[in-house]
Amino acid sequence: MASKDQVIEIIHKVAAAIEREAQFLTDLDNAIGDGDHGINLSRGFKKVEEELPVVADKDIGAILKKVGMTLVSTVGGASGPLYGTAFMKAGDAVKDHVSISADDFIAVLEAAIGGVQLRGKAEKGEKTMLDAMLPALDAMKAAGTADAKAMLDAGVKAAKEGVEYTKTIIATKGRASYLGERSIGHQDPGATSFTVMLETIAEAI
């Protein structure tokens, strides 16, 4: 599906996408959270871009781990430990790899989601990033790994539906939970940022 160089290129593209969507993500977070999601993630990925050349000669696992550690150190909000743990666990799933297959990508996403669940202790239906992540993983598994592009497109479609679903439910996790029923009608910023990342990956493959 992707060589190491392509993975590095995709991380740069993800950073650019987060930068492009930073204001939108922050606006979403302003409505139901503490209004830092886009700003924080953008700061984190800027640092990631600075750090990427340092690990360019390492394997994909080490590169993803570095992305995670950088996000933990620089983001500052909940998305730091959540995406940080996700990327670090993703790195463990492709340790020593210099390329990744569609099957590897499923393993990467599964590990990343496991990391988010471990760190955030959230479940499906709590209006979090998991509401985009879990349906995306299910859809990609269902699509099968024979055609990586089709698999990713199925994942993006499901993630977008997951984002729409977050508009219909009450937040019971994170800062948005303080709003209770008033959180209905707003889409979750974390589910949205995950979808931006997955869509960027899908477009690059």
Between CA 72 and CA 152, with CA 89 as vertex, the angle to 5 degrees is 105
Q: Which residue number, 84 or 135, has a Cβ lying nearer to other proteins?
A: 84
Q: Which of 80, 91, 155, 189 binds other proteins (CB under 8 A)?
A: 80
Measured distance CA(5)–CA(97) in Å, rounded? 12
Q: Please, what is the minimum distance in Å from the beta carbon of residue 122 to other proteins?
A: 11
Q: Please, what is the minimum distance in Å from the beta carbon of residue 153 to other proteins?
A: 32
Q: Please, what is the minimum distance in Å from the beta carbon of residue 192 to other proteins?
A: 18
Q: Please, what is the minimum distance in Å from the beta carbon of residue 34 to other proteins?
A: 8
Between CA 140 and CA 148, with CA 144 as vertex, the angle to 5 degrees is 75
Other CB atoms within 10 Å distance of the CB of residue 110:
17
Question: What are the φ and ψ backbone dihedral angles of 119, each rounded to 5 degrees?
Answer: -75, -45
Question: What are the φ and ψ backbone dihedral angles of 147, each rounded to 5 degrees?
Answer: -120, 100
Q: Which of 67, 72, 106, 130 binds other proteins (CB under 8 A)?
A: 72
| CA dihedral of residues 171, 17, 108, 79 (deg, nearest 10) | -40
**Interaction between residue 160 and other proteins (CB under 8 A):** no
Q: Which residue number, 82 or 106, has a Cβ lying nearer to other proteins?
A: 82
**Interaction between residue 200 and other proteins (CB under 8 A):** no
How many helices (H) and strands (E) would you count in the chain? 8, 2
Contact 135, 162 (CB under 8 A): yes
Other CB atoms within 10 Å distance of the CB of residue 53:
9
**Interaction between residue 73 and other proteins (CB under 8 A):** yes
**Interaction between residue 29 and other proteins (CB under 8 A):** no
**Interaction between residue 40 and other proteins (CB under 8 A):** yes
Q: Which residue number, 2 or 71, has a Cβ lying nearer to other proteins?
A: 71
Take residue 204 and report the two structure tokens written for it.
Answer: 């690059």
**Interaction between residue 111 and other proteins (CB under 8 A):** no
Q: Which residue number, 84 or 155, has a Cβ lying nearer to other proteins?
A: 84
Q: Which of 1, 17, 32, 75 binds other proteins (CB under 8 A)?
A: 75
The three-state secondary structure class of 3 is: strand
Chain residues that interact with other proteins, rule: CB under 8 A: 34, 36, 40, 72-73, 75-82, 84-85, 119-120, 174-175
